[in-house]
Homo-oligomer: A and B are copies of this chain.
Amino acid sequence: MMTKQEAADAVCGARVERGVTWAQLAEAVGRPVVWTTAAVLGQHPMSAAEAEAAASALELGQDVVKALQLQPTRGALGAAVPVDPTVYRLYEVLQVYGPTIKELIHEEFGDGIMSAINFRLDVKRVPDPEGDRVEIVLNGKFLPYQW
């Protein structure tokens, strides 16, 4: 049986070969682009219809369709601290602002967390005359500590 990693590699290869963008793939699948990309990279299970749509858009076979539906074991970094500079900057934000975010969640909501499960994320371009900006929006349900 094909693993989710092998399916991800197959999709990524076909995507580059055929010049299909993540946005186009997401449109074919009918889900947001961040979710679709994460699912293809092995972090979310797709429904049968979504997997069929993804494979069909890239002319890939049933082994890929099946693998995309498997329940994943999540965790994409492969190391505790990422070394790729684009990914590392997110870790740096955590190092510099992590406890700050914790303080402000507690001040605004009380003792609890922002869910990473009931959660969505968006990546956007914000035009700016001094150079366009990347905006990443994390949006998760507040979960109060409840006994």
Residues of A at under 8 Å CB distance from B?
Answer: 1, 9, 12-13, 16-17, 21-23, 31-35, 37-38, 41, 43-45, 66, 70-71, 73-77, 80-109, 111-121, 123, 125-126, 128, 130-147
Contact = CB atoms under 8 A, between A and B. Distances in A.
B93 A138 contact: yes
B107 A87 contact: no
B128 A145 contact: no
Nearest to A147: B120
A103 B22 contact: yes
A41 B104 CA distance: 12
Contacts of A113: 85-86, 89, 117
Given A116-B96, A139-B135, A71 B147 contact: no
